[in-house]
Chains A and B, each alone.
Chain A
Amino acid sequence: MMRNSLVYYLHTSVMNDLISTMFNKKFLEELFKPQELYSKKALRTVYDRLAHASIMRLNPASMDKLFDLMTMAFKYQVLLCPRPKDILLITFNHLDAIKNFVRDSPDIMNQVDETFRHIIEVYGCLPAGEFQLIRQTLLLFFQDMHIRVSIFLKDKVQNSNGRFVLPISGPVPWGTKVPGLIRMFNNKGEEVKRMEFKHGGQYVRAESEGSFELSGDRVLTLGTNMYSASRPVETRVSGALKNSSLNTKDNIAARTLAKEELNFLARLMGGMEIKKTSGPEPGFRLNLFTTDEEEEHAALTRPEELSYQVINIQAAQDQQRNEELTRIMGEFEIHDQPQQSTSKGDDLLAMMDEL
């Protein structure tokens, strides 16, 4: 029973730390500024930083795998998004799930709710054309990524070539009519002929539109927890790279970060509060592979094209930039302790060490 409550505590502690870091006001302020699409390298760096916002640790191989999983899952959601505006519903599904994780911490709940309101304010009234532009831009990020994910392969949501299955049945998006009808009119606007045609799919009408309010039935399942039942987390990167997607110029471009992007990253990370522990870290390490050896092997055999080369900001070459970044990093010191039973946790873990 002691072990169970410890697991529960660790789980809650990690969740609370991650979520409160992600929804930190300063961090979000930066995120909401209009900006260009991140490169994979930049996003991976932010992700890395975020994942270390709690006592949980991951080795590079597990981190890569987690990032792959997240990327492919999000690609799936954006790709299958029925109409461009539904990208907002997917985001709301994400936020609903996050709120559920922190339902026992009212302060963090508040942070998430604030973000929710901000999203509704900024995006709620965007026209369809703009949503499609956002979606098309996001799809640029996922282009040429075909990592196979076990759970998707098992559920027949992804093919063995890494492409997603696009169903040609089910409800049409809200606002779209079921294909199959041709109506013809005369110059007075009167219908004069009506014809049906066989379009090839098995579509039905959409029953209802999802809710765009702070809470409500989103109707859309894209963006809900795909791991709600216990599922395997394997991903396969080999074999997906036979036709190497990037030519030399693109590769070089992908490897260097534009100066603007580096500066932007620095500001973004300046908004993140990272837990700093003095002395030996009491945290625990999450391994997404079956054994430590497997994890090590994965790190060594990861294909070149999928190497994200996470930047160590502190190792940046430019002296002036380095100073600026060091200053920002210094702002990572936590000013107010979160209202958690952190000390209790430390005591608990210290107790474990003594056993």
Chain B
Amino acid sequence: MTFLLSTESSLGSHFGTSRTSAPDRSMYRRERPVPMRSCPAALYNNLSVLPLPAPGLTQFALVHGPTAQLLSAAPDGLPVSQRQLHTKDGAGPGFPLITQAYWCVLPFRVLLVLTSQRGIQIYESDGSVMVYWHALDSTDASPVQALFARGIAASGHYICVGTWSGRVLVFDVPAKGPNIVLSEELDVHQAPITDIAAEPAQGQDCVADVVTADDSGLLCVWKSGPEFKLLTRISGFGTPCPSVQLWQGSVAAGYGDGQIRIYEASSGALHVQINAHARGICALDLAPEAGKLLSGAEDSFVHIWKLSRNPHSGCIEVEHCHAECVTDTQVCGARFCDLRGSSFAVTGYDLAEILRYSCV
């Protein structure tokens, strides 16, 4: 159900320089949802989207628990193809759970990465063939520790994956073939990694191009390369940071207390603080060509924000664009379906379909 907002300038001027946000310029309408056989797991960042070359066709990936599902759908919502992937049965009791599914777009290929309680599985983008398997190292773990990998991003020809210990694994990926190599292990975080993001504008001369986030809210900003270089650390003071994005030198972070904070990546200076949601944020996504940020949280709301750089101060500013209430649903995944952010998709716990919205 779409929820169009009207703005009221009832707030007055007692804040001095305050004003209510501009009228809802981006109006989104609900499209046909993509049905699923079961509901997604209540995880962070539980949706990945890959637009396909065939016009109008979009591929979705999400996690149900011990399985991940890939679906491709046409604009009319009808599923075109469907595939289920399972955890590779490594050692250990029970049915291992998948924690995240994410498409990594590299310069010469697209790979699908699944992280689980056992390790990291990398597939060709349609999920047909597993090209690489990396088992989690349990030597440092105490018997009571829950092991898992979580947090996936691609930067250049590197794929970064986070783990339960805070260690980030960096894999070097060749242009084709299965010879993926573990290039580096980054040991800065002390809490389980939640999310990793890379600067989408690869062509530009970006110094900071990867950011890693963890359960304590710590953000680490890196320069990628044969040896990753740590540039900045930004503390979260104990509040988990489930989701993070990087855009033109700015880090956008969504926190477990419902706040979104935007920092200058190179210095760590706080530029924007938004009291965005009433419950923990579970997903953030970016439409790089328009500077749009999408946030989804357990409060059942999805918000779209417009990021811009003030030409005078050089600081990042934010405007609220759109609010969507996904009635009675705790959002667990939200992604733009195109680079301009004219459409987006949402998943929620207890919701057996992928909701889609597009600009009118």
Contact = CB atoms under 8 A, between A and B. Distances in A.
A332 to B, nearest CB: 26
Interface in A117-175: 127-130, 132-133, 135-136, 139-140, 143-144, 146, 159, 163-166, 168, 172-173, 175
A9 to B, nearest CB: 43
Nearest to B86: A249
Contacts, number: 212
Given A82-B279, A132-B256, A247-B84, A168 B299 contact: yes
B271 A184 contact: yes
Given A127-B191, A129-B192, A136-B43, A243 B330 contact: no
A34 interface: yes
Nearest to B267: A187
Contacts of A143: 38-39, 41-42, 64-65, 349-350
B17 A182 contact: no
A315 interface: no
B301 A201 contact: yes
Given A143-B39, A176-B278, A176-B279, A192 B313 contact: yes
Contacts of B86: 249
Contact of B17 (A168, A194, A250): A194
Interface stretch (B202-210, B245-253, B317-325): B317-325
Nearest to A200: B323
Contacts of A249: 86
A247 B313 CA distance: 56
Given A166-B329, A175-B257, A198-B7, A144 B38 contact: yes
A166 B297 CA distance: 12
B56 interface: no
Contacts of B144: 34
Contact of A189 (B256, B270, B272): B270
A30 interface: no
A344 interface: no
Contacts of B301: 168, 199-201
A245 B38 contact: yes
Contact of B275 (A83, A133, A180): A180
A132 B240 contact: yes
A45 to B, nearest CB: 16
A168 B64 CA distance: 26
Interface string A33-47: 010110000000000
Interface residues of B, number: 81
Given A143-B349, A260-B94, A196 B37 contact: no
B21 interface: yes
A83 B21 contact: no
Interface in A178-215: 178-187, 189, 192-201, 203
B216 interface: yes
A186 B315 CA distance: 6
Contacts of A250: 66-67
Contacts of B20: 195-198
Nearest to A188: B269
A270 interface: no
Contacts of A133: 146, 192, 215
Given A36-B93, A132-B280, A164-B328, A189 B17 contact: no
A193 B239 CA distance: 25
B80 to A, nearest CB: 19
A129 B94 contact: no
B359 interface: no
Which 3 A-B pairs give the minimum distances between C-beta atoms? A129-B215, A197-B320, A34-B144
Given A129-B194, A198-B7, A200-B3, 17 more contacts: A36-B94, A79-B350, A82-B279, A84-B256, A127-B215, A130-B215, A133-B192, A135-B42, A136-B43, A140-B41, A143-B42, A166-B327, A182-B318, A183-B274, A187-B269, A196-B20, A201-B278
8 contacts: A34-B144, A136-B42, A184-B272, A198-B20, A200-B5, A246-B38, A247-B84, A258-B95
Interface of A: 34, 36-37, 79, 82-84, 127-130, 132-133, 135-136, 139-140, 143-144, 146, 159, 163-166, 168, 172-173, 175-187, 189, 192-201, 203, 243-247, 249-250, 253, 258, 260-261
Interface of B: 3, 5-8, 11, 15-21, 35, 37-39, 41-43, 64-67, 84, 86, 93-95, 97, 143-144, 146, 191-192, 194, 214-216, 238-240, 256-259, 264, 267, 269-280, 299-301, 303, 313-320, 323, 325, 327-330, 349-350, 352
